Structures are given as C-alpha cells and as structure tokens.
Amino acid sequence: MSHRKHSTAALTTEQFLALEYIPRSVLVAKRIMDIVVALVGLVLTAPLWPLVALAIRLDSPGPVIYRQMRVGRILADRTELFEILKFRSMRADAEKGTGAVWAQKHDPRITRVGAFIRKTRLDELPQLINVLRGDMSVVGPRPERPAMYRRLEQAVPFFADRTAGLRPGVTGLTQVVQGYDNSVEDVRRKVGFDAAYAMRLATFGGWLFSDVMIMFRTLTVMVSGRGQ
C-alpha cells in the first residue's frame, strides 16, 4: 500500500488563484534544495540513528519509529494525506482513551529519552525520509493531524490556507519563533507566521533568505536544546 492517501477536498477558487503569486522557479528550486538538504542531513546524522533508537528501546516499550497520519498539501483537486515519521518520544499508549490532544509542558506522557530528543529536535530526523518522498519540505507550515485539522478549521479563520499548494515543513518560521502548539491561541498566532512565510515565496531572493535563515535558527535550537 502506498504511504500517501488523498481525500476529495479541494481548494476554493480564491485559494487556487492565490497560489499564482509563487513563481514556478521558486517551487522548483525549493524542491531541489529539499532533496539536497535531506540527503546531506541523512548522511551527517546517520551515526546518531542507532544511538537514538537504542536509547528509546531501553527507555520504554514500544516501536522506535512513530507513524501518524497528517494533512499535507491542499491542491486544486485534492488534499494530500501522508504518514509522518518520527522517533517516538512518548509512551506507546500516550493517546489511549484521549484521542488526539496537544502535548503540554511537563507532559507525563513524554519519556525520559523523549524529553531529550524533543528538546534537541532529534525526534524529527526521520522526517527527512518524508522530504525525499515528497510528502514534506524542509521548511514550511507544520502539518496537523486530520482530527485536529477539522476542529481548528472551524475555530481559526484561514487555518486551511496554511498548506494551500505548499508541502508542510519539518521546520518553519512558527517552530523557531513560537515553538509547538499548546492551545488554539497558539494556532491563531501560527496562522500569522505561516502567512508571513508564504508571502516570502513571492520572490526567489525572499524565499532563499527565509529558508536559509529558518534552517540556521533550527540548528541553533537543536544545539542549544531549546526545543520542547
């Protein structure tokens, strides 16, 4: 079975026309950069993968790699769904009985190893495979789970526009400025950051500066352990 599924949802006419501000040269260059960065990232971090996997395995029972369905690009004729890959940072039964909920500060579901790999963003490394598959971009709006997506689309204006025509990102402006979501208010702020990033894609220089800056700030977060 393919790792990617598609729903029947589509862009509105207004959303579709709004995508015309992104030049094709930017979309092509962004995809090329994604492939190069993902390949280099996989090679450079390869020694860490068995160490992280062993630490997870020794710390708590359950799979090393966590798989979860996420909402990808919204295109003119469909909305893409894909299976995101992460190193598991929570107990295997973390959402048993609760369903999809946000992680909170000092969340008891997060394991000891999980707390470390979340702070250093090492849990995100398997998403480089998602980038190579074409599910994600290195930089872009953070992908949300379908169950949360439906709720947020009703509660937050323009939430669905965040991934209109754009692959969601392993990192992004929201992640380096605000961090991950803990509430609907966080999501409202995220929509503003994601819109600001999308507008930078209107020019080649604006896109290149933004993506390089965000990747650099992400590395700073990883090294300093300021993730969550």
In tens, the pLDDT along 71-118 reads 998 887 788 899 999 999 988 776 665 555 556 566 778 899 999 998
Q: Are 77 and 10 in contact (CB under 8 A)?
A: yes
Q: Write out pLDDT tens, residues 120-164.
A: 999 999 999 999 999 999 999 988 888 888 788 888 877 877 777
Q: Write out pLDDT tens, residues 39-64.
A: 999 999 999 999 999 999 999 898 99
Is residue 14 predicted with pLDDT exceeding 60?
A: no
Instruction: Name the DSSP letter for residue 90.
Output: B
Q: Are 125 and 45 in contact (CB under 8 A)?
A: yes
Distances in Å between the alpha carbon of 77 and those of 23, 82, 150, 164? 20, 16, 18, 11
Its pTM stands at 0.83
- Residues 6 or more apart from 134 whose CB is under 8 A from it? 167
Give residue 3's pLDDT: 53
CB-count exposure of residue 201 (10 Å: 0-12, 13-18, 19+): buried
Q: Which range in 4-13, 38-47, 181-190 is most confidently predicted, on average pLDDT? A: 38-47
Cα 151 to chain centroid, rounded: 18
Please give the structure tokens belonging to residue 107. Answer: 């969340």
Closest CA to 59 of 111, 94, 109: 111
Cα(first)–Cα(last) distance of the chain, in Å?
33
